[in-house]
């Protein structure tokens, strides 16, 4: 566990752009790490998602592009506060969220949501997916761990969509449906008629 690949990308006390102070690591995904941070311009807590600048798999650039486009599309999209890079990492700063749906389900009796909770969550998830499709993007990684509730007393009843690193724009700037990519296996979410918008 002492190799450079196992070392954290950021450490507590580090500042990014003299504004965001890294507090501690709170998660790790397939493409990077998540840190809790403090925004010294506002005093609020936030989250930083970081990936290695030399990794062969870099997805944050796409995630930032998608998040910027989605900011005004839905109240179920987390807020992008900033982004940047250093000689070691690419990073983006976003609103701090609470536990994801997978974590929340495991905390419930019998590891199941009640029917009423399932329906309330389902309505918000569908609204988030619909908004993303209406903005011309496919998420391509829909799963419970990519939806989380808000972290504050005001937002804890709101479900937010996360992780846009695999997203793809399926509508061109002129409004045409893009043709599927060629080569390899076609993922299930592209096995649709490309002369129509995907169903929600």
Residues labelled catalytic: 141
H-helix or E-strand containing 115?
helix 115-134
What tokens does 117 get? 């909770």
The rounded distance, in Å, linking the Cα atoms of 129 and 138 is: 8
Beta-bridge mates of residue 34 = 27, 49
Q: Which of 114, 55, 33, 46 is nearest to 82 (CA)?
A: 46
For residue 145, what is the DSSP state?
G
CB atoms inside a 10 Å sphere around CB 20 = 23
User: For residue 153, how many C-alpha atoms fall within 13 Å in the half-sphere facing its CB?
Assistant: 0
Q: Which of 52, 36, 64, 38 is nearest to 90 (CA)?
A: 52
Please provide residue 168's backbone torsions phi and psi, each rounded to the nearest 5 degrees.
Answer: -140, 135
Residues contributing to the annotated binding site for ATP: 49
Residues contributing to the annotated binding site: 49
């Amino acid at each position: 566990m002492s190799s450079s690949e196992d070392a954290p990308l950021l450490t507590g006390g580090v500042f990014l752009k003299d504004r965001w102070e890294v507090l501690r690591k709170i998660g790790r995904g397939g493409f990077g790490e998540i840190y809790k941070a403090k925004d010294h311009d506002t005093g609020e807590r936030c989250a930083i998602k970081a990936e290695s600048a030399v990794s062969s798999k870099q997805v944050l650039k796409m995630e930032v592009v998608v998040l910027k486009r989605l900011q005004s599309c839905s109240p179920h999209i987390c807020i992008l506060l900033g982004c940047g890079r250093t000689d070691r990492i690419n990073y983006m700063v976003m609103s701090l969220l609470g536990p994801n749906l997978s974590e929340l389900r495991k905390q419930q009796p019998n590891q199941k949501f009640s029917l009423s909770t399932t329906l309330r969550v389902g309505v918000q998830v569908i609204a988030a997916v619909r908004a993303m499709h209406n903005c011309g993007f496919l998420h391509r990684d829909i799963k419970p761990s990519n939806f989380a509730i808000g972290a504050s007393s005001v937002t804890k009843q709101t479900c937010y969509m996360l992780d846009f690193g695999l997203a793809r724009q399926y509508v061109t700037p002129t409004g045409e449906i893009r043709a599927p990519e060629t080569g390899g296996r076609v993922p299930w979410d592209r096995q649709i008629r490309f002369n129509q918008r995907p169903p929600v």
